[in-house]
Amino acid sequence: MRDPWRPAMRLALAEAGRAALGGDVPVGAVVLGPDGTTVLGAGHNEREATGDPTAHAEVLALRRAAAALGEWRLTGCTLVVTLEPCTMCAGALVQSRVDRVVYGARDDKAGAAGSLWDVVRDRRLNHRPEVVEGVLAEECARPLTEFFRGR
């Protein structure tokens, strides 16, 4: 089940590398169209670069995908991200109506897709995307560990 998401996760890892170059936490994300292969939007953390506290990889990728589609509803789309989404990003995933979120490394301190919280699958919400976790988990965790070790 994880194999089909590896190519997209590698694209997200490349985005994460761009975040690190800008001094941001190395997290990258891509939004795939309903065909599961077309990249509609991509992003990496840009909080330091832009001074915008909402400039998380997931939010930027969702914004760019919505712009590409000309619609805020990302029904049928998949968000692939190197780190488990935080509560803000999990809320954005629910609001955007993506069908699925695929992530690499767990975030036991701030994750909101199953580890600390489970916002994306909260039964009280009107939309609950499928969650696929652990895709290239070690490769996704490595740049994060190196980034924070250097701080």
What are the residues facing 42 on neighbouring strands? 30
The H-or-E segment that residue 7 falls in is: helix 6-21
Instruction: Please tell me whether residue 46 adopts helix, strand or coil conformation.
Output: coil
**Residue 140 is assigned to a ligand binding site:** no
- Judge whether 58 counts as a catalytic residue: yes
Which is catalytic among the residues 15, 46, 58, 84? 58
Q: Residues 6 or more apart from 126 whose CB is under 8 A from it?
A: none
> Cα–Cα–Cα angle for 34, 6, 108, nearest 5°?
100
Q: Which residues are annotated as a binding site?
A: 56, 86, 89
Q: Which residues are annotated as a binding site for Zn(2+)?
A: 56, 86, 89
Active-site positions read 58
